Structure 1
Amino acid sequence: MSELYTLVEGGQYLIENFDEFLTLLREHIILVLVSELAAITVAVPLGVIAVRYNRLKSSILSVGNVAQTIPTLAVIALAFPIFGLGFNSAVIALFVYALLPILTNTIAGLEQVDENTIEAAEGMGMTKWEVLRKIQLPMALPVIFAGIRTSVVITVGTAYLAFFIGGGGLGVWVISGINLFNTPQILAGAIPGALLAITLDSVFAFIEHQIGGEGHHDQSIATG
């Protein structure tokens, strides 16, 4: 009963501060989207390079693994002297953390494309670039998208730490609530973040399923 009452209090806090909530939610979503777009822009080409030049694969994966193992607060601490307080440092930290799932899935997706399909395309006169653009990337897209989906969910949770350098987001309520022992404020910031992660995961899962169906169709045409 006390848990239900606490949840009700959290809902009341959110309603009473709804304008601030919308601002924090918007900041949180922007942090996630910008860092994810940056991670995709970097990780997918790195994955392509790793597959194309096998001797670089271990080095590229090592960079991704190191980025994932460094605590987010440590990345924030390193970014702060260069980019200062605020949005930019938060995005850098989230970007670093978002890289690995996209990178590993890009490599896995490209490597699982059937060699016979690639050889058939090359036999038809396609260049390596054309094979990559028209065959490998479309077939690898469902796996790459699964990595993006995982990365997005991780980033939604990690974005709460943006509070520590003035990056905004729902972490403002959660961490301030922890410091003030204000449970309704904590819940008002934490529950929407969890719902945001679940919603994004469901949306990306649906898109991934759609892409997967198209990818299998394209593969059957290419090998037919």
Structure 2
Amino acid sequence: MNNRRLIIPPVSLPVLLIIVALFLAVFVLFSGVVIAAFAKLGIPPEVAYALFFFALVGSFINIPIAEETSYEPVLRVREVRFFGIPYPVPSFELAERRVIIAINVGGAIVPLSVALYEMLRMVYLGQFALLFNTILAVLIAALFSHAVARPVRGLGIAMPMFLPPLMAILLGWLLGGSNPTAVAYISGTLGVLIGADLMNWNRIKNLGAPMVSIGGAGTFDGIFLAGIIAVLLV
């Protein structure tokens, strides 16, 4: 009898402690960066901590908002007999494919709520010129994001990570006036959401993925990070 056993060497306690310490250090650093970005937007610390908590927990929550149906040609082979001899005959049929489109709470809803809050505050303070510049910045950022975004079959919409924040920083400097951080955050967040996701809505159903989530990477998604990076660097 063969008594082979698969032996996996255990991780020693010092190595395990180092892994845990590195994870905690990265978590603390990342949370500090996000909260610092919210603070630059004028959000109180307690609200900033709550937003980060909701973004972190909400990264695991996807809310279905639509279902798209597409039809794709599928090659099938059927057998035909001629004088008792089988012959394979290829044929094309249209197969129905359904794609569920969802929105991620942490990666899309939380940054979207912050952007809308900043715009409503401009209205409350009577900063209509700044609001107009912000809308113009969002339009430019959306067109830019749409230009650099690429549909990836089986995955979703992909785009370079640092290009949208750099555009948002530039727009914050050019159109931000007295509040460049708010313009940078809003244009970075809404620019990616509108340009990369909403403007590619018709392409999503043809990507071959059973579900596509807007902001699906959570706090590491382009929608979330574009605004955070832009605010920190503006």
TM class by shorter chain equals: under 0.3
Give TM-score, length-normalised by structure 2: 0.25
Give TM-score, length-normalised by structure 1: 0.26
Going by fraction, where is strand more abundant, 1 or 2?
Answer: 2
